[in-house]
Structure 1
């Protein structure tokens, strides 16, 4: 399950781990904050109580998007233009 909310300066997507009958512990919710210049991924750490945060630039996000559809290897995306 996931939710999408549009706030003043960001789009907030929350991914909820429902388990779907799997015999494993559920993971904490993942919150993805999309800004004009970056994407921030947050997930609470149940052991420490801290929120773990990863910030991706838009270029890193483009690389990740491309990597999801490519085979193993090393790549550099060329700018469109």
Structure 2
């Protein structure tokens, strides 16, 4: 399950772990906040009693999206019509 909210300066997506068959424990919610120049991922860590925050640039996010659909290897994405 997930929710989407639009704030003044960001879009916020929350991913909720609803579990899977035979999954022993649920993971904490992940809150993804999309700003104009970056994306943050935030998840509560119960062992530290604190949030863990990861910030990705928009280029890193683009690369992550591409990486999910590519086989193992090393890649560099370039805009169409531009040589690497």
TM-score of the superposed pair, with normalisation by structure 2 = 0.91
- Report whether the alignment pairs 1:35 with 2:18: no
Structure 1 vs Structure 2 CA RMSD = 1.1
- Residues 10-68 of structure 1 deviation map (CA, whole Å, 9 limit, x = unaligned): 00000000103333100000000001110000000011111000000000001001001
Uncovered stretches (5+) of structure 1, i.e. residues with no partner = none
Distance 1:20 1:52 in 2: 24
Aligned to 1:3: 3
- Is the radius of gyration larger for structure 1 or structure 2? 2
- 1:56 paired residue number: 56
* 1:22 corresponding residue in structure 2: 22
2:80 aligned with 1:70, yes or no? no
CA distance in 2, matches of 1:68, 1:21: 24
List gaps (5 residues or longer) in structure 2.
none
